[in-house]
Amino acid sequence: MTEVRDHLLSILVRDEPRVLTRITALFGRRGYNIKSLSVGSTEHPGVSRMTIVVSGDRGVVEQAIRQLEKLHDVIKIIDHSLEKYVDRELVLVKVAITPESRVEVRQIAEDFRSRIVDVGRHALTFEVTGDEGKITAFIEQMRPFGILETMRTGRIALTRGSNADIPTHVYHEGETQALQPTLEVQPREERARHVPNLF
């Protein structure tokens, strides 16, 4: 079994009613687990961009991509595991403070280049952006003081380099280009062990 891990997908979609439902319904119906989802508009009118973190083995992710490719609303899918990318997440973290811990909490936040966005008598709210590792580390550092609430936006990603992900001609007439399947041969015994049991 290939390992189960998180896969980061960017999905460029036509900005039309129900598109979010279509995408999430597809994941739901086929039993793929969405770990995070963020959606926003792009520099191209009529095109929105979603970043979806889906966990599963390679086969699940490939199947999810191919099913997504078939949706009429989907313009392009980028599987970030296939190239270099930058990703970020924004998190708001509300940490409990006491007169004694106040300074230490602020110091940690400074180390993480985190900003204070709200100051209360018994709590401070921080804004942290970064990749997953940084955010996890921040939360772990703050945990002993007492985390009251957190809200994460979900991860967003872009391919590194100067190429733009969005094809210039997005409202094309034809089908979206479906993936060319890999010509990979697996030994027969392997195969038998890997097939999902449908019953």
Structure-token pair, residue 82: 């296939």
The nearer residue to another protein, 18 or 121, going by C-beta atoms, is 18
* Residue 12 Cβ vs another protein, minimum distance, rounded to whole Å: 17
Cα–Cα distances (Å) from 100 to 96, 103, 105, 139, in that order, read 11, 7, 10, 19
Least Å distance, CB 6 to another protein, is 21
What does the DSSP 8-state code read for residue 17? Answer: T
Judged by beta carbon, residue 102 or residue 194, the one nearer another protein is 194
Query: Which residues have a Cβ under 8 Å from the Cβ of 73 and sit 6 or more positions away?
Result: 13, 14, 16, 19, 22, 23
| Secondary structure (H, E, C), 27-40 | HHHCCCEEEEEEEE
Rounded Cα gap, residues 54 and 31, in angstroms: 11
Judged by beta carbon, residue 25 or residue 103, the one nearer another protein is: 25
Q: Which is nearer to another protein, 19 or 124 (CB)?
A: 19
DSSP sequence for 78-146: EEGGGS-EEEEEEEEEEEE--TTTHHHHHHHHHHTTPEEEEE-SSEEEEEEEE-HHHHHHHHHHHGGG-
Smallest distance, another protein to C-beta of residue 165, A: 20
Min dist CB 173 to another protein, Å, is: 7
Residue closer to another protein (CB basis): 3 or 140: 3
* Cβ closest to another protein, residue 55 vs residue 176: 176
Backbone φ, ψ for residue 189 (5° rounding): -65, -45
**Exposure b/e, 106-121, CB count within 10 A at least 16 = b:** bebbeebebeeeeeee
Q: Find the shortest distance in angstroms from Cβ 164 to another protein.
A: 25
Interacting residue ranges for another protein, rule: CB under 8 A: 17-18, 21-22, 25, 29, 59, 62-63, 66-67, 69-73, 173-175, 178-183, 185-186, 188, 191-199
Smallest gap from residue 27 Cβ to another protein (A): 12
